[in-house]
Amino acid sequence: MTESAPRHNEPQIIRTIAELRAAIAAFRRAGADSGVGFVPTMGYLHEGHASLIRKSAADNGLTLLSIFVNPIQFGPNEDLDKYPRDEARDLKVAAASGASIVFLPSAAEMYPAKRVTTVTVNEVSDSLCGASRPGHFDGVATVVAKLFNIVQPDRAYFGMKDAQQVAVIARMVQDLNIPVEVVPCPILREEDGLALSSRNVYLDAKARSEASVLSRALSRTEEWIEEGATASELISRLSREIASSDIADIDYVDLLTYPELTRPEEGKPLAGLDADVLVAVAVRFGQTRLIDNKLLNPAKAGAILCSAK
Amino acid sequence: MTESAPRHNEPQIIRTIAELRAAIAAFRRAGADSGVGFVPTMGYLHEGHASLIRKSAADNGLTLLSIFVNPIQFGPNEDLDKYPRDEARDLKVAAASGASIVFLPSAAEMYPAKRVTTVTVNEVSDSLCGASRPGHFDGVATVVAKLFNIVQPDRAYFGMKDAQQVAVIARMVQDLNIPVEVVPCPILREEDGLALSSRNVYLDAKARSEASVLSRALSRTEEWIEEGATASELISRLSREIASSDIADIDYVDLLTYPELTRPEEGKPLAGLDADVLVAVAVRFGQTRLIDNKLLNPAKAGAILCSAK
Q: Do B149 and A178 touch (CB under 8 A)?
A: yes
Residues whose CB falls within 8 Å of the CB of residue A17, separated by 6 or more in sequence, listed in order: A105, A109, A150, B177
pLDDT for residue A32: 67
Give the torsion through C-alpha atoms of A28, A29, A31, A33, to 10 deg: 10
pLDDT tens digits for B49-91?
999 999 999 999 999 999 999 999 999 989 999 999 999 999 9
CB A205 within 8 A of CB A246: no
Mutate to test the interface with A, among B17, B117, B150 (most CBs of A within 10 A): B117
Q: Do B142 and A176 touch (CB under 8 A)?
A: yes
User: Cα distance from A237 to chain B (closest Cα, Å)?
Assistant: 33
pLDDT for residue B6: 39
The pLDDT confidence band at residue A305, using thresholds 50, 70 and 90, is low
Query: HEC string of A120-168?
Result: EECCCCCCHHHHHCCCHHHHHHHHHHHHHHHHCCCEEEEEHHHHHHHHH
HSE-CB at A47 with a 13 A cutoff on CA atoms is 10
- Burial environment of residue A71 by CB neighbours within 10 A (0 to 12, 13 to 18, 19 or more): middle
pLDDT tens digits for A155-183?
999 999 999 999 999 999 999 999 999 99
pLDDT tens digits for B95-113?
999 999 999 999 999 999 9
Residues whose CB falls within 8 Å of the CB of residue A258, separated by 6 or more in sequence, listed in order: A163, A167, A276, A277, A278, A295, A307, A308
Q: Which among B116, B172, B174 is the nearest to A121, CB-wise?
A: B116
pLDDT tens digits for A76-100?
989 999 999 999 999 999 999 999 9
CB B235 within 8 A of CB B197: no
Q: Do B171 and A123 touch (CB under 8 A)?
A: no
The pLDDT confidence band at residue B31, using thresholds 50, 70 and 90, is confident
Separation of first and last alpha carbons in chain B:
51
Q: Structural domains in chain B?
A: 12-185 (3.40.50.620), 198-296 (3.30.1300.10)
Q: Which among B117, B149, B172 is the nearest to A117, CB-wise?
A: B172
The pLDDT confidence band at residue B300, using thresholds 50, 70 and 90, is confident
| Residue bearing the bigger pLDDT, B262 or A1 | B262
In this structure, the strands spanning B101-103 and A62-67 are unpaired
Q: Do A175 and B122 touch (CB under 8 A)?
A: no
| Average confidence score pLDDT of chain B | 94
Short-list A180, A212, A184, CA closest to A283: A212
Least confident of A298-307, B17-26, B66-75, B219-228: A298-307
pLDDT tens digits for B250-288?
999 999 999 999 999 989 999 999 999 999 999 999 999
d(CA A4, CA A214): 48
Q: Confirm or reject contact between B149 and chain A (CB < 8 A).
A: yes
Tell me the average pLDDT across B173-177.
98
Q: Which residues of A touch B21 (CB under 8 A)?
A: 179
Specify the 3-state DSSP secondary structure of A232: helix
| Residue bearing the bigger pLDDT, A39 or B305 | A39
> Which residues pair with residue B65 across a beta bridge?
B39, B102
| Gyration radius of chain A over CA positions | 20
Q: Which residues of B touch A116 (CB under 8 A)?
A: 121-124, 171, 175
The crossing angle, in degrees rounded to 10, of helices B47-59 and B87-97 is 40
d(CA B107, CA B110): 5
Residue % of chain B over a pLDDT of 90: 89
d(CA A67, CA A103): 6
Asked if the model's pLDDT at residue A238 lies above 50, the reply is yes
Q: Do B145 and A176 touch (CB under 8 A)?
A: yes
User: Cα distance from B170 to chain A (closest Cα, Å)?
Assistant: 11
Q: Which among B17, B117, B179 is the nearest to A176, CB-wise?
A: B117
Q: Known catalytic residue: A49? A: yes
Long-range contacts of A267-272 (CB under 8 A, 24+ apart): A267/A230, A268/A230, A269/A225, A269/A228, A269/A229, A269/A230, A270/A225, A270/A229, A270/A230, A270/A231, A270/A234, A270/A298, A271/A225, A271/A226, A271/A228, A271/A298, A271/A299, A272/A298, A272/A299
d(CA A8, CA A132): 44
The pLDDT confidence band at residue A282, using thresholds 50, 70 and 90, is very high
Tell me the average pLDDT across B23-33.
86
d(CA A56, CA A53): 5
d(CA B51, CA B122): 30
Q: Confirm or reject contact between B117 and chain A (CB < 8 A).
A: yes
Q: Do A117 and B122 touch (CB under 8 A)?
A: yes
Alpha-helical regions (H) of B133-230: 136-151, 163-175, 205-210, 213-218, 221-226
Residue type at B289?
Answer: R
pLDDT tens digits for B121-140?
999 999 999 999 999 999 99
In this structure, the strands spanning A288-296 and B181-185 are unpaired
| Average confidence score pLDDT of chain A | 94
pLDDT for residue A306: 58
Q: Confirm or reject contact between A49 and chain B (CB < 8 A).
A: no
Give the torsion through C-alpha atoms of A127, A129, A131, A135, to 10 deg: -120
Short-list B210, B213, B144, CA closest to B182: B144
Percentages (nearest 5) of helix, strand, coil residues in chain B: 40, 20, 40
d(CA A255, CA A260): 12
Backbone angles phi, psi at B66, to 5 degrees: -110, 140
Distances from the Cα of B95 to the Cα of B89, B92, B159, B259, angstroms: 10, 5, 19, 33
Percentages (nearest 5) of helix, strand, coil residues in chain A: 40, 20, 40
Q: Which among B116, B141, B176 is the nearest to A175, CB-wise?
A: B116
Q: What is the ipTM of this complex?
A: 0.94
CB A145 within 8 A of CB B176: yes
Asked if the model's pLDDT at residue B4 lies above 70, the reply is no
Residue of B nearest to A17 (CA): B177
d(CA A235, CA A221): 9
Asked if the model's pLDDT at residue A6 lies above 50, the reply is no
pLDDT for residue B303: 72
Asked if the model's pLDDT at residue B210 lies above 70, the reply is yes
Asked if the model's pLDDT at residue B5 lies above 70, the reply is no
Asked if the model's pLDDT at residue B191 lies above 70, the reply is yes
